[in-house]
């Protein structure tokens, strides 16, 4: 059974007009500096102060973003956190509690000893297009996970893979996807050997031919614990569905917001801490979360809504994530560390606000930076 990556940028239109070259990961330090206080008597609990003490913020407190959360400011949630139900991916299991699993916020566990495994899964598409053949998938290790600056190794680990239209390879089930009308979509399998577990990773998808069919996407905060390893293929392996962006998709939403391809895009989901029976730490999508960043996008933070998870829509009046857990922002500066943090109201303790996850990424011209926040990670102090 494959596990999913991000699945949502379909209707955002944040799709670059040309591919960005891999290997352009110049380190930029996450500088320290004084922090401000904001929000009156409102506090965000269960923060890892050590993890947040060496960063600075260019943002300031406003009526829209009054909560100081790990070197960022986020909006004050107006509804308690709620788990997604009835979705195809990252949905609460049938019969499971409706209460979010917040256990990893205070107890993220510890990193185990890395082992080398095979990574396999399917390459999903944002929106237009029905076949993910011709996508190059590469895996990188983060450079400084405990003192993050959003950079990663200049060379990929393991052996990169290119998806193929070979009919002998299995395809993902896309019968649920309303974008995949008959005869359906062909989401191709990829396989990469030599990938480490218990290691912070970044997965890059790009155009295998170096052309303009596929844009470049960097998927941060990827982590495979040892208990997610299976032997289904006769050798140790883990599963994760990568995501590819078609550079031909129209900028229907981003264009209307003034997106420029020389700047950066960040988009992702907010999840809880649930671990499935196979050991995959993917979480369940959360409604009611707000997101802030240490470097502001152009315009407001964006949230998305729609009962159809295959075609999420911009929710212009939304001030927090809806059932799909989706957020985004456009026109970030490129080549600088950007910390992204999510906060939510604990449904078991009304008025108590929790930091749901924090991560440092960078953005790149003509590319998408994907970040799903999945609670606190074992390498985060």
Kindly state the DSSP code that residue 247 receives in the 8-state scheme: T
Q: What residues contact 248, with CB distance under 8 A and at least 6 apart?
A: 15, 128, 129, 212, 213
Which tens digit of pLDDT belongs to each residue from 4-47? 665 544 444 433 333 333 333 333 333 333 333 455 556 677 66
Kindly state the DSSP code that residue 49 receives in the 8-state scheme: H
Strands 216-222 and 72-74: unpaired
Cα–Cα distance measured from residue 153 to residue 145, given in angstroms and rounded to the nearest whole number: 12
The average pLDDT across 214-222 equals: 93
Q: Which residue has the tokens 């989401």?
A: 187
The average pLDDT across 105-119 equals: 93
pLDDT score of 49:
52
The average pLDDT across 268-286 equals: 86
pLDDT top residue among 146 and 226: 226
pLDDT score of 10:
43
The average pLDDT across 55-65 equals: 73
Classify 259 as helix, strand or coil.
coil
Cα–Cα distance measured from residue 194 to residue 100, given in angstroms and rounded to the nearest whole number: 34
Tell me the pLDDT of the chain averaged across its residues. Answer: 82
Which tens digit of pLDDT belongs to each residue from 349-363? 988 899 999 999 999
Q: What residues contact 16, with CB distance under 8 A and at least 6 apart?
A: 215, 216, 245, 247, 261, 366, 367, 368
Q: Which of 9-23, 56-70, 127-141 reaches the highest mean pLDDT?
A: 127-141
Q: Dihedral sign, CA of 195, 198, 202, 203?
A: positive
> Residue 131 above 80 pLDDT?
yes
pLDDT score of 62:
79
Confidence of residue 370 (pLDDT cuts 50, 70, 90): very high
Task: Write down the H helix ranges in the chain.
Answer: 49-52, 103-106
CB 105 within 8 A of CB 355: yes
Which tens digit of pLDDT belongs to each residue from 230-264? 987 688 999 999 999 887 543 544 555 676 778 88
List, as own/partner pairs, every contact residues 63-67 make where C-beta atoms lie below 8 angstroms and the sequence separation is at least 24, other chains included: 64/300, 64/319, 65/292, 66/38, 66/39, 66/40, 66/42, 67/38, 67/39, 67/42, 67/290, 67/292, 67/343, 67/353
- Three-class secondary structure assignment of 170-238: CECCCCCCCCCCCCCCECEEEEEEEEECCCCEEEEEEECCCCCCECEEEEEEECCCHHHCECCCCCCEE
Cα–Cα distance measured from residue 307 to residue 137, given in angstroms and rounded to the nearest whole number: 30
pLDDT score of 296:
86
The average pLDDT across 265-279 equals: 87
pLDDT score of 56:
64
How far are the Cα atoms of 40, 191, 342 from residue 170, in angstroms, in the given order?
55, 12, 36
Question: What percentage of the chain carries pLDDT values higher than 70?
Answer: 81
pLDDT top residue among 46 and 177: 177
pLDDT score of 48:
58
Which tens digit of pLDDT belongs to each residue from 311-346? 777 777 889 999 999 999 888 999 999 999 999 999
pLDDT score of 165:
84
> Residue 227 above 70 pLDDT?
yes
pLDDT score of 273:
93
CA-nearest of 92, 2, 367 to 207 is 367
């Amino acid at each position: 059974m494959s596990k999913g990556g991000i699945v949502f940028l379909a209707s955002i239109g944040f799709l670059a007009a040309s591919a960005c070259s891999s290997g352009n990961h110049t380190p930029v330090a996450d500088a320290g500096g004084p922090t401000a206080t904001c929000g009156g008597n409102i506090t965000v609990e269960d923060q890892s102060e050590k993890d947040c003490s060496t960063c600075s913020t260019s943002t300031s407190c406003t009526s829209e973003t009054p909560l100081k959360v790990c070197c960022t400011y986020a909006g004050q949630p107006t509804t308690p956190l709620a788990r997604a139900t009835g979705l195809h991916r990252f949905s609460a299991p049938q019969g499971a509690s409706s209460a979010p699993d917040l256990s990893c916020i205070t107890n993220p566990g510890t990193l185990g000893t890395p082992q080398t495994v095979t990574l396999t899964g399917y390459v999903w598409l944002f929106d237009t297009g029905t076949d993910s053949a011709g996508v190059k998938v590469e895996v990188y290790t983060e450079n400084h996970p405990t003192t993050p600056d959003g950079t990663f190794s200049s060379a990929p680990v393991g052996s990169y893979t290119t998806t193929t239209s070979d009919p002998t390879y299995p395809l993902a089930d896309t019968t649920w996807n309303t974008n995949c009308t008959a005869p359906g979509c062909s989401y191709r399998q990829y396989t990469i050997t030599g990938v480490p577990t218990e290691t912070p990773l970044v997965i890059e998808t790009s155009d295998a031919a170096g052309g303009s069919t596929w844009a470049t996407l960097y998927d941060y905060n990827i982590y495979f614990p040892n208990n997610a390893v299976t032997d289904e293929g006769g050798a140790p392996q883990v599963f994760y569905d990568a995501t590819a962006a078609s550079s031909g998709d129209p900028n229907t939403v981003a264009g209307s917001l003034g997106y420029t391809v020389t700047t950066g895009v960040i988009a992702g989901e907010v999840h809880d801490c649930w671990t499935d029976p196979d050991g995959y730490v993917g979480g369940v999508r959360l409604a009611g979360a707000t997101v802030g960043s240490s470097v502001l996008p152009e315009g407001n933070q964006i949230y998305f809504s729609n009962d159809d998870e295959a075609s999420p829509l911009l929710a212009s009046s939304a001030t927090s994530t809806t059932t799909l857990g989706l957020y985004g922002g456009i026109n970030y500066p490129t080549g600088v560390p950007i910390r992204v943090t999510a906060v939510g109201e604990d449904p078991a303790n009304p008025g108590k606000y929790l930091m749901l996850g924090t991560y440092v990424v960078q953005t790149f011209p003509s590319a998408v930076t994907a970040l799903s926040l999945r609670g606190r990670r074992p390498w985060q102090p």
